[in-house]
């Protein structure tokens, strides 16, 4: 999860509910909800993982807050991130998406998302067994939660290996840093801080 380009405080301020949160999950409300209810919880299923891969790619170079606020528009634009449907997108669909003010209108990222859907669809007919099985095969051993935000790495050996595996299978915008951000988001690692109120899963 990245905060690049945003202080995370626009919209509303910190809430004093007596709960200790990871610093990025304090405010605004959309961050609190995402932190408390979703981030770091295990996510399985090919379409669900495809959504996370796609959103992390769109987030590259932007604030995650931008992506969260546009998430429903992304879902509508990309057919609920159903792999089979996005894999069938045409050049006309790409042009349509470029004109959609509800999403991040970046041609390279749009093209990458469509290409990634095609790559994900192809996985079902391989020994990988599908996107979810492939991604989760790189989950590291359970470890202690970090004590400080500075203890959280940007890249790990597992995220580097996952990035290489995805790129080998035709995925784009899946560098080691993006891969690790996704691993954290989908619960492959637990990077809530040690004093965070969110329980371990």
Catalytic residue among 31, 39, 51, 56: 56
Say if CB 170 and CB 115 are below 8 A apart: yes
Query: Mean pLDDT, to the nearest integer, of 161-169?
Result: 97
Q: Is 141 one of the catalytic residues?
A: no
Catalytic residue among 31, 39, 64, 180: 64
pLDDT at position 14, please?
A: 60
Annotated binding site: 22, 35, 192, 196
The answer as to whether 98 is a domain residue is yes
- Give the 3-state secondary structure of residue 129: coil
- Report, in angstroms and rounded to the nearest whole number, the Rg of the chain calculated over CA atoms: 17
pLDDT at position 2, please?
A: 45
Q: How far apart are CA 108 and CA 59, in angstroms?
A: 13
The answer as to whether 114 is a domain residue is yes
The answer as to whether 88 is a domain residue is yes
What does the pLDDT look like over 139-159, one tens digit per residue? Answer: 999 999 999 999 999 999 999
The answer as to whether 144 is a domain residue is yes
The answer as to whether 136 is a domain residue is yes
Q: Which domain holds residue 123?
A: 46-185
Residue 11: pLDDT band (50, 70, 90) is very low
The answer as to whether 170 is a domain residue is yes
More confident residue, 41 or 2: 41
Residue 26 structure tokens: 């304090």
Is the entire prediction scored with pTM above 0.85?
yes
Q: DSSP readout, 84-117?
A: HHHHT--HHHHHHHHT-TTS---HHHHHHHHHHH
Annotated binding site for Zn(2+): 22, 35, 192, 196
Q: How far apart are CA 110 and CA 115, in angstroms?
A: 9
What is the number of structural domains in the chain?
A: 1
Q: Among positive and negative, which fits the CA dihedral 100, 169, 55, 132?
A: positive
Q: Is 136 one of the catalytic residues?
A: no
Between the alpha carbon of residue 10 and those of residues 28, 101, 112, 118, the distances in Å are: 6, 21, 30, 37
The answer as to whether 146 is a domain residue is yes
The answer as to whether 6 is a domain residue is no
Sheet strands (E) in the chain: none
Whether pLDDT at 41 is above 70: yes
CATH of the domain at 68: 1.10.340.30
Between the alpha carbon of residue 36 and those of residues 17, 80, 103, 199, the distances in Å are: 13, 23, 24, 10
Q: What percent of the chain has pLDDT over 70?
A: 93
Q: Is 34 one of the catalytic residues?
A: yes
pLDDT at position 18, please?
A: 86
């Amino acid at each position: 999860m990245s905060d690049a380009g945003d202080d995370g405080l626009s919209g509303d301020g910190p809430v004093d509910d007596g709960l200790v949160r990871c610093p990025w999950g304090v405010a605004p409300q959309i961050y609190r909800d995402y932190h408390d209810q979703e981030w770091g919880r295990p996510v399985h299923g090919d379409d669900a993982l495809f959504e996370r891969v796609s959103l992390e790619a769109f987030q590259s170079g932007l604030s995650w807050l931008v992506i969260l606020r546009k998430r429903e528009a992304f879902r509508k634009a990309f057919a609920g991130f159903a792999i089979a449907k996005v894999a069938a997108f045409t050049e006309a669909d790409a042009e349509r998406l470029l004109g959609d003010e509800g999403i991040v209108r970046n041609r390279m990222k749009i093209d990458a998302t469509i290409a990634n859907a095609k790559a994900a669809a192809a996985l079902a007919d391989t020994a990988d067994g599908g996107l979810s099985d492939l991604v989760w095969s790189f989950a590291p051993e359970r470890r202690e939660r970090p004590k400080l935000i500075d203890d959280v790495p940007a890249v790990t050996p597992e995220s580097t290996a996952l990035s290489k595996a995805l790129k080998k299978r035709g995925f784009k915008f899946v560098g080691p840093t993006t891969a690790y951000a996704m691993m954290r988001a989908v619960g492959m690692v637990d990077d809530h801080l040690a004093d965070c109120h969110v329980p371990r899963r």
